[in-house]
Amino acid sequence: VTRAAWAPLLRDHPDIDRVVTLEEEGEGRLGTLTAWLAGVRWAGVLDLHGSLRSRWLVARLSAGARVRYRGRQAARRLLVAFPPLGRLLRLDRPWQVVEAQVEAAERLLARLPPPPGPSLGPADPTGMSLPSLHPTPAEIRRAGQEWQALGLEPRAVGVCPGARHATKRWPVEYHAALADQLASSGQPGVPVFLSEDEADRELEAALRAAVGAGTRLVILRRPLREVAAFMGFCRTIVTN
């Protein structure tokens, strides 16, 4: 269950049987979605949002196991509303969202019967299973053609500097310094992944103003599935 904006990322994933969006079931009519989900006996439910709405929904489902992602929502709200107090309480310390969400998934899997095969993608060198995206071969082919046309080198280092919340955002000067370092090391262009949001347009302007004259930024604003295909051509993605 997700919002329609994120559904394309989950399409064609071999381990997902069905994607249900809040909009599909009627935005503002959470009871419709709850009634449908409550009619099924679920082996396990993983809440990767941890909001009041998702907690309300999960509490009404019949499930053998329930696990919730611990996202420090209260701490982030306090830091945004009262920055000096948040820093005094050390609420501004880095928080690894993806790692915490994967850890929540691992906790759920530990309470369920072993799956027939790997469900979270390959493990990284630390041994943690990683989530994976699955662009189609056609999407990958188109992305590769455009990647080459943009003059980007295979296995480049990309930058994804945007984030909705200020507490999740790396300072733009840090991204600019990284882009300058990549340019000075010989990378002919630095792919920068941004959304169409006004905040990301302002971020682009700030990033362009902060990089050196010899740094070539290649701004990529694409639908999420195209972004996933493009990112497959990067050696590393530096993000928040």
Asked whether residue 181 carries a pLDDT value surpassing 80, the answer given is yes
pLDDT band at 5 (very low <50, low <70, confident <90, very high): confident
Asked whether residue 51 carries a pLDDT value surpassing 70, the answer given is yes
In the prediction, which pLDDT does 79 show? 63
In the prediction, which pLDDT does 36 show? 83
Question: Beta partners for 63?
Answer: 42
Helices H / strands E in the chain, number of each: 11, 8
State the angle between helix axes of 172-184 and 198-210 in degrees (0 to 180), rounded to the nearest 10: 50
In the prediction, which pLDDT does 158 show? 96
CA distances from 209 to 12, 170, 173, 188, 214 (A): 39, 16, 10, 19, 12
In the prediction, which pLDDT does 206 show? 95
Give CA–CA dist 191/112, Å, rounded: 40
In the prediction, which pLDDT does 31 show? 75
Which residues of the chain form beta strands (DSSP E)? Answer: 41-42, 45-47, 62-63, 66-68, 156-160, 190-193, 217-220, 234-239
Condensed to tens digits (0 to 9), the pLDDT of residues 110-157 reads: 888 766 555 555 545 455 555 677 888 999 999 999 999 999 998 999
Residue with the bigger pLDDT between 176 and 199: it is 176
Asked whether residue 77 carries a pLDDT value surpassing 70, the answer given is no
What number is the average pLDDT over the span 43-55?
85
In the prediction, which pLDDT does 173 show? 94
Residue 195 in tokens: 């959304």
In the prediction, which pLDDT does 28 show? 45
Give CA–CA dist 151/166, Å, rounded: 32
Tally of CB atoms within 10 A around 233: 19
In the prediction, which pLDDT does 27 show? 47
The DSSP result for 24-87, as a single string, is HH-TT-HHHHHHHHHTSEES-EEESS--HHHHHHHHTSEES-EEE----HHHHHHHHH-HHHHH
Candidate ranges 12-26, 69-83, 180-194; pick with highest mean pLDDT? 180-194
CA distances from 218 to 134, 164, 211, 222 (A): 24, 21, 13, 12
| pTM (two decimals) | 0.66
What number is the average pLDDT over the span 168-178?
90
Tally of CB atoms within 10 A around 126: 7
In the prediction, which pLDDT does 233 show? 94
User: Among 149, 166, 225, which Cα is nearest to 193's?
Assistant: 225
pLDDT band at 11 (very low <50, low <70, confident <90, very high): confident
Give CA–CA dist 38/61, Å, rounded: 5
First to last CA, the chain: 25
In the prediction, which pLDDT does 97 show? 65
The percentage of residues in the chain with a pLDDT greater than 70, rounded to a whole number, is 78
